[in-house]
Chain A
């Protein structure tokens, strides 16, 4: 799949933002006044900034209101609704903390639940795709939710929880690589089933339908970046997990907390790039590519 910057930025930052909102909603921490203001601004910058980035790749962003209508079948629609409802609830909860010094716990719990649901629906947009066998697996929601909660805990200053959740996230990531690398082969979809010609013999793409490129090839067949995949996996894992875990383990100061968060974000961006770049869409089979 084409690793579009807007989608990478969107999933990374909205994941972090809703992760932070989750912990704020649970009252971990439950600051008031100015400190609360800073926490909530940070969370909303990430969550809303991410959501806005996701509109950059739309052909007609001005029609976005229509995207809230098909929640009965569409995960994208559900995600939009969950995100907006959660942001509204948490805005109210945050306003209580910032301006009134009041902690409306039930509202916070609802907001935390909403944050979890939002990240879950985001992950299902990818995990539902039968056309991308690598994504259609429990490890996809696993990655999205654990990254979000782990990164959120890191930003919320929940040292022990962050440490545990980042380890869990790393485990999900490694599982998705180990399993994902064989998902296309195990899916049973091949150029033979794609063309229905397997009963005759071995099928080879002989001549493509067009001499240049097209939407399908740009969007779904991304071969170039894959050759550095292993290096990027190592870099992503070190920045995203090893460095922040090391900082958390030796004890945090303001400076190391900042460094841990910065390193984690850089790592997750790299891992998200790989999430898309390494995903093989079955339409590539028609072009003899993957």
Chain B
């Protein structure tokens, strides 16, 4: 069914904290691992042991350099998986009904046995969250680990997405955005959680927390004053040593 539900009972999704993500790619690996062994077709690799390796992933981590008008550039690691959009364009374009958004919790899924692998849903997704598996010929996307979060065979603490469970920095949070008191709603409200490409009208459920402002104080540490170089242009013994060492082959002038 490619008609989107007018509203969903729950709005399950992720908060991704761009301030704390360290870019370790652990979520990428755990996502690939869990989703290769569980729900649906495995995530294949092509030419994995050659110089031209490629493969299917449901979660990838980009890194961006941001240059403010003044001061130092910042490096920001940027994990990206399906945002489980409320107005998911990937669902409505699907000709077969393989793509759907669940009424009960808002998760966007692909019924792989109905998918003809036309790729149109991946065209419609602005975020690059869908990849056609080259071995299986069906569309793969983040399932929000639907086979973990409700899985009573797993211990309670493991009933959350693999990427969230794995992240060593605590940069990914899972919860219900429909509940204003949930962890994810509170984080979003407190930290100014934002939508990606809001102008495209997809109404993503997942929110991104912007990096906190950098410390502007020039005192990096109370010990800093003691660590400044003793003499920039050495006099006396230091000056002589500097000249003598510089005279060696390879010495700096």
Contacts and interface: CB of A to CB of B under 8 A. Distances in A.
A219 B133 CA distance: 12
A72 B199 contact: no
B210 A196 contact: yes
A219 B57 CA distance: 15
Contact of A200 (B74, B136, B200): B74
Contacts of B80: 209, 286
Contact of A63 (B114, B120, B199): B114
Given A72-B3, A204-B64, A80 B54 contact: no
B201 A69 contact: no
B194 A196 contact: yes
Contacts of A282: 126, 197, 200
Contacts of A201: 66-69, 73-74
Nearest to A74: B95
A130 interface: yes
A216 interface: yes
A215 B134 CA distance: 8
A196 B199 CA distance: 11
Interface in B184-220: 194-201, 208, 210-211
Given A189-B197, A215-B132, A281-B123, A69 B96 contact: yes
Nearest to A80: B95
Interface string B107-150: 00000001111111011111110011110111100000000000
B161 to A, nearest CB: 18
A214 interface: yes
Contacts of B117: 58-60
B187 to A, nearest CB: 15
Instruction: Assign chain A's interface to a size class.
Output: 35 or more
Interface string A199-234: 111111111111111111001100000000000000
Interface string B89-108: 10111111110000000000
Interface residues of B, number: 69
B63 interface: yes
Contact of A74 (B53, B94, B199): B94
A75 interface: yes
B162 interface: no
A106 interface: no
A64 to B, nearest CB: 6
B109 to A, nearest CB: 15
A204 B92 contact: no
Interface in B42-59: 52-57
A282 B96 CA distance: 25
Contact of B136 (A59, A74, A80, A204): A59
Q: Which 9 A-B pairs have the closest CB atoms?
A: A59-B117, A59-B137, A209-B60, A201-B68, A77-B95, A283-B128, A66-B96, A207-B63, A76-B95
Interface of B: 2-3, 18, 25, 28, 52-57, 60-69, 73-76, 78, 80, 89, 91-98, 114-120, 122-128, 131-134, 136-139, 194-201, 208, 210-211
27 contacts: A58-B118, A58-B137, A59-B116, A63-B115, A66-B116, A67-B95, A68-B95, A69-B97, A70-B94, A74-B92, A76-B95, A125-B93, A189-B126, A189-B200, A197-B18, A201-B66, A201-B67, A202-B67, A203-B64, A205-B64, A206-B65, A207-B62, A209-B80, A214-B54, A214-B56, A214-B131, A219-B122
Interface of A: 1, 57-61, 63-64, 66-70, 72-77, 80, 125, 128-132, 187-189, 191, 193-197, 199-216, 219-220, 281-283, 286-287
